[in-house]
Amino acid sequence: MSAGPLRLLLLADTHVPRRARDLPAQVWAAVDAADVVVHAGDWVDVALLDALEERTAAGGARLVGVWGNNDGPALRARLPEVARVDLDGLALAVVHETGPAAGREARCAAAYEGADVLVFGHSHIPWDSTAATGLRLLNPGSPTDRRRQPTCTYVTASVTGGRLADVALHHLPPRAH
Protein backbone atom coordinates (compact mmCIF):
# COMPACT_ATOMS: atom_id res chain seq x y z
CA MET A 1 0.00 0.00 0.00
CA SER A 2 1.14 3.50 -0.68
CA ALA A 3 2.15 5.96 2.05
CA GLY A 4 -0.19 8.63 0.64
CA PRO A 5 -3.86 8.31 -0.25
CA LEU A 6 -5.23 4.86 -1.03
CA ARG A 7 -5.86 4.65 -4.76
CA LEU A 8 -9.11 2.84 -5.58
CA LEU A 9 -10.28 1.19 -8.78
CA LEU A 10 -14.01 0.42 -8.96
CA LEU A 11 -15.26 -2.19 -11.43
CA ALA A 12 -18.50 -4.08 -12.03
CA ASP A 13 -20.19 -6.14 -14.70
CA THR A 14 -17.05 -7.28 -16.47
CA HIS A 15 -18.78 -10.38 -17.93
CA VAL A 16 -15.46 -11.89 -19.07
CA PRO A 17 -15.34 -13.92 -21.31
CA ARG A 18 -18.97 -13.51 -22.46
CA ARG A 19 -18.90 -9.79 -23.34
CA ALA A 20 -15.13 -9.47 -23.85
CA ARG A 21 -12.22 -11.89 -23.97
CA ASP A 22 -10.37 -9.88 -21.33
CA LEU A 23 -10.36 -6.55 -19.57
CA PRO A 24 -9.15 -3.64 -21.72
CA ALA A 25 -5.44 -2.75 -21.37
CA GLN A 26 -6.39 0.62 -19.83
CA VAL A 27 -8.26 -1.22 -17.05
CA TRP A 28 -5.33 -3.56 -16.39
CA ALA A 29 -3.10 -0.47 -16.12
CA ALA A 30 -5.56 0.96 -13.57
CA VAL A 31 -5.39 -2.35 -11.66
CA ASP A 32 -1.60 -2.02 -11.53
CA ALA A 33 -1.88 1.58 -10.25
CA ALA A 34 -4.45 0.81 -7.54
CA ASP A 35 -3.97 0.01 -3.87
CA VAL A 36 -7.50 -1.43 -3.66
CA VAL A 37 -9.49 -2.96 -6.52
CA VAL A 38 -13.23 -3.25 -5.87
CA HIS A 39 -15.39 -5.47 -8.11
CA ALA A 40 -19.17 -5.30 -7.64
CA GLY A 41 -20.06 -8.60 -9.30
CA ASP A 42 -20.93 -10.26 -12.59
CA TRP A 43 -17.47 -11.62 -13.19
CA VAL A 44 -19.03 -14.62 -15.04
CA ASP A 45 -15.91 -16.83 -14.91
CA VAL A 46 -13.45 -17.62 -12.12
CA ALA A 47 -10.53 -17.03 -14.51
CA LEU A 48 -10.93 -13.26 -14.15
CA LEU A 49 -11.12 -13.53 -10.36
CA ASP A 50 -7.93 -15.62 -10.41
CA ALA A 51 -6.20 -13.10 -12.70
CA LEU A 52 -7.22 -10.11 -10.55
CA GLU A 53 -6.18 -11.90 -7.36
CA GLU A 54 -2.78 -12.71 -8.88
CA ARG A 55 -2.25 -9.21 -10.27
CA THR A 56 -3.30 -7.35 -7.10
CA ALA A 57 -1.25 -9.65 -4.87
CA ALA A 58 1.82 -9.17 -7.08
CA GLY A 59 1.43 -5.40 -6.76
CA GLY A 60 0.78 -5.45 -3.03
CA ALA A 61 -2.83 -4.34 -3.54
CA ARG A 62 -6.07 -5.56 -2.04
CA LEU A 63 -9.00 -7.06 -3.94
CA VAL A 64 -12.54 -6.66 -2.59
CA GLY A 65 -15.24 -8.42 -4.57
CA VAL A 66 -18.75 -9.80 -4.45
CA TRP A 67 -20.75 -12.12 -6.66
CA GLY A 68 -23.47 -10.97 -9.03
CA ASN A 69 -26.59 -12.53 -10.50
CA ASN A 70 -24.65 -13.91 -13.51
CA ASP A 71 -22.03 -15.59 -11.31
CA GLY A 72 -22.36 -19.33 -10.81
CA PRO A 73 -21.55 -21.65 -7.91
CA ALA A 74 -17.74 -21.51 -8.35
CA LEU A 75 -17.68 -17.71 -7.91
CA ARG A 76 -20.33 -17.74 -5.18
CA ALA A 77 -18.19 -20.21 -3.24
CA ARG A 78 -15.27 -17.77 -3.23
CA LEU A 79 -17.01 -14.40 -2.92
CA PRO A 80 -19.60 -12.95 -0.54
CA GLU A 81 -22.91 -11.44 -1.63
CA VAL A 82 -22.04 -8.31 0.37
CA ALA A 83 -18.57 -7.13 1.38
CA ARG A 84 -17.82 -4.55 4.07
CA VAL A 85 -14.29 -3.26 4.58
CA ASP A 86 -12.55 -0.39 6.33
CA LEU A 87 -10.25 1.57 4.05
CA ASP A 88 -8.20 4.04 6.08
CA GLY A 89 -11.26 4.87 8.18
CA LEU A 90 -13.75 4.83 5.27
CA ALA A 91 -16.52 2.25 5.76
CA LEU A 92 -17.02 0.73 2.30
CA ALA A 93 -19.80 -1.69 1.39
CA VAL A 94 -20.02 -3.57 -1.91
CA VAL A 95 -23.02 -5.40 -3.41
CA HIS A 96 -24.09 -6.27 -6.93
CA GLU A 97 -27.78 -5.33 -6.98
CA THR A 98 -29.59 -2.46 -5.28
CA GLY A 99 -32.97 -2.66 -7.01
CA PRO A 100 -34.72 0.05 -9.03
CA ALA A 101 -33.26 3.55 -9.34
CA ALA A 102 -36.39 5.08 -7.78
CA GLY A 103 -35.87 5.22 -4.03
CA ARG A 104 -32.36 3.76 -4.24
CA GLU A 105 -30.71 6.25 -1.85
CA ALA A 106 -33.20 5.77 0.99
CA ARG A 107 -33.38 2.00 0.50
CA CYS A 108 -29.59 1.62 0.52
CA ALA A 109 -29.10 4.00 3.45
CA ALA A 110 -31.37 1.74 5.50
CA ALA A 111 -29.81 -1.51 4.25
CA TYR A 112 -26.16 -0.41 4.60
CA GLU A 113 -26.29 1.55 7.83
CA GLY A 114 -22.82 2.48 9.02
CA ALA A 115 -21.34 2.50 5.52
CA ASP A 116 -19.86 5.70 4.12
CA VAL A 117 -19.76 4.47 0.52
CA LEU A 118 -21.70 1.74 -1.29
CA VAL A 119 -20.28 0.40 -4.57
CA PHE A 120 -22.78 -1.54 -6.68
CA GLY A 121 -23.27 -2.81 -10.22
CA HIS A 122 -25.91 -4.71 -12.19
CA SER A 123 -27.32 -1.95 -14.41
CA HIS A 124 -24.11 -1.18 -16.36
CA ILE A 125 -25.12 2.46 -15.87
CA PRO A 126 -22.70 4.76 -14.03
CA TRP A 127 -24.25 6.24 -10.90
CA ASP A 128 -23.01 8.74 -8.33
CA SER A 129 -25.41 10.03 -5.71
CA THR A 130 -25.57 10.71 -1.99
CA ALA A 131 -28.38 9.67 0.34
CA ALA A 132 -29.79 12.06 2.95
CA THR A 133 -27.79 10.11 5.55
CA GLY A 134 -24.53 10.92 3.74
CA LEU A 135 -24.10 7.45 2.17
CA ARG A 136 -22.38 7.87 -1.21
CA LEU A 137 -23.59 5.43 -3.87
CA LEU A 138 -21.30 4.62 -6.79
CA ASN A 139 -21.80 2.36 -9.78
CA PRO A 140 -18.77 2.29 -12.12
CA GLY A 141 -20.77 1.01 -15.09
CA SER A 142 -19.06 -1.71 -17.11
CA PRO A 143 -15.62 -1.72 -18.78
CA THR A 144 -16.72 -4.37 -21.28
CA ASP A 145 -20.48 -4.07 -21.94
CA ARG A 146 -21.81 -0.54 -22.34
CA ARG A 147 -25.40 -1.64 -23.03
CA ARG A 148 -27.37 1.58 -23.59
CA GLN A 149 -24.49 3.84 -22.51
CA PRO A 150 -22.31 5.81 -24.94
CA THR A 151 -19.10 4.16 -23.69
CA CYS A 152 -17.77 1.46 -21.42
CA THR A 153 -16.67 2.86 -18.06
CA TYR A 154 -14.89 2.37 -14.74
CA VAL A 155 -14.22 4.61 -11.74
CA THR A 156 -11.10 5.62 -9.83
CA ALA A 157 -11.02 7.42 -6.49
CA SER A 158 -8.81 7.92 -3.47
CA VAL A 159 -9.21 7.65 0.29
CA THR A 160 -7.34 9.68 2.86
CA GLY A 161 -8.17 9.75 6.54
CA GLY A 162 -11.58 8.17 6.07
CA ARG A 163 -12.65 10.54 3.26
CA LEU A 164 -13.41 9.63 -0.32
CA ALA A 165 -11.92 12.02 -2.87
CA ASP A 166 -10.91 12.34 -6.51
CA VAL A 167 -13.86 10.27 -7.79
CA ALA A 168 -13.48 10.06 -11.57
CA LEU A 169 -15.57 8.22 -14.15
CA HIS A 170 -13.33 6.99 -16.98
CA HIS A 171 -14.73 6.40 -20.47
CA LEU A 172 -13.03 3.74 -22.55
CA PRO A 173 -12.45 4.27 -26.26
CA PRO A 174 -14.78 2.16 -28.45
CA ARG A 175 -12.08 -0.32 -29.43
CA ALA A 176 -10.68 -0.73 -25.90
CA HIS A 177 -13.22 -3.40 -25.08
Instruction: Break the chain into its structural domains and give their ranges.
Output: 6-176
60: which DSSP letter?
Answer: T
Phi, psi of 128 (to 5 degrees): -145, 105
Averaged pLDDT score across all residues of the chain: 95
**Element at 31 (helix H, strand E):** helix 25-33
Q: Convert the pLDDT of each residue in 58-112 to its tens digit.
A: 999 999 999 999 999 999 999 999 999 999 999 999 999 999 999 999 999 999 9
pLDDT at 175: 65
pTM for this predicted structure: 0.95
According to CATH, the topology of domain 6-176 is Purple Acid Phosphatase; chain A, domain 2 (3.60.21)
CA dist 121 and 126 (Å) reads 8
The Cα 150–Cα 129 span in angstroms is 20
| Mean pLDDT along residues 111-140 | 98
